[in-house]
Amino acid sequence: MACLLPHCLILHIPKTGSDWVRAACYEAVEGPITEIGDWHCDLQTAKQIMLDKGLEIPLIGTFVRNPLDWYRSAWLYWKETERFPRQEDEPKVESEDFERFVRNCMAVEPQGYLSTLYERFTGTMPGEVSVIGKQENLVNDLVRLLKLAGEVFDERKLRTVKAQNVGGFKTDIAFPGYTYDLAREVIQFESRAIERYGYVS
């Protein structure tokens, strides 16, 4: 679900720190917080819900993650919970084998599985979402988003909220690691996301 705060709307992309963002907002932001839409409600759905309710669309923010890390996190999450962050009507990509999982994603969406997913939340044109933070700088980027929106919040409380739903720590499941070739292919495959969100090495 997207979080509607007094002055901004935060969209939650799967496996980019959204559980922590939600917890931090509830802990630190003053004023009402309303969750809108279904599980991981995307940009167009959230905007339509607000328009249908006669609400003005506020500043919108969301968070992304380095594709190499996202695939690792999504696979570990599935291994630990048997849940994968996709809609029920979307093709199944899950696999016990990490490389097969990644290649399943490549087969489902040749233009970039994660790049396409991100665009459902960030839009395809500049400015559709005002603030796109990074999971790698989650705390500081959420603080920046809230300040830009003019939210009243306790920054000290926000910074003390513990990590949420971190993959790979709940069980003894080990991540097998990327091979050189697989990492190179992911970087090429997800070049749209890597270039757009500044993950170019």
| Cα–Cα dist 180/62, whole Å | 30
Domain ranges in the chain?
A: 2-196
The phi-psi region of residue 54 (left if phi > 0; otherwise alpha if psi is between -120 and 50; otherwise beta) is left
Topology given in CATH for the domain delimited by 2-196: Rossmann fold (3.40.50)
- Residues 190-196 have a mean pLDDT of 96
Q: SS3 of 11, please? A: coil
Mean pLDDT of all residues in 26-37: 96
Spatial distance between the Cα atoms of 156 and 154, rounded to a whole number of angstroms: 6
Strand order of the β-sheet with 2-4 is 34-36, 2-4, 8-10, 59-64, 131-134
Task: Round to whole Å and give the CA distance between 68 and 138.
Answer: 17
- The HSE-up count of residue 145 (CA atoms within 13 Å, CB side) is 29
Rounded to two decimals, the pTM is 0.92
Q: Is the pLDDT of residue 104 over 70?
A: yes
The mean pLDDT value for 184-194 works out to: 96
Lowest mean pLDDT among 20-34, 104-118, 168-182: 168-182
Q: In the 3-class helix/strand/coil scheme, how is 46-75 assigned residue by residue?
A: HHHHHHHCCCCCCEEEEEECCHHHHHHHHH
Model pLDDT, residue 38: 84
Structure tokens at 175: 């991540």
pLDDT at 100: 95
How far apart are the C-alpha atoms of 17 and 145, rounded to whole Å?
A: 14
CA 126 to the chain's CA centroid: 18
Tens of pLDDT along 39-91?
A: 779 999 999 999 999 999 999 999 999 999 999 999 998 898 887 766 667 77
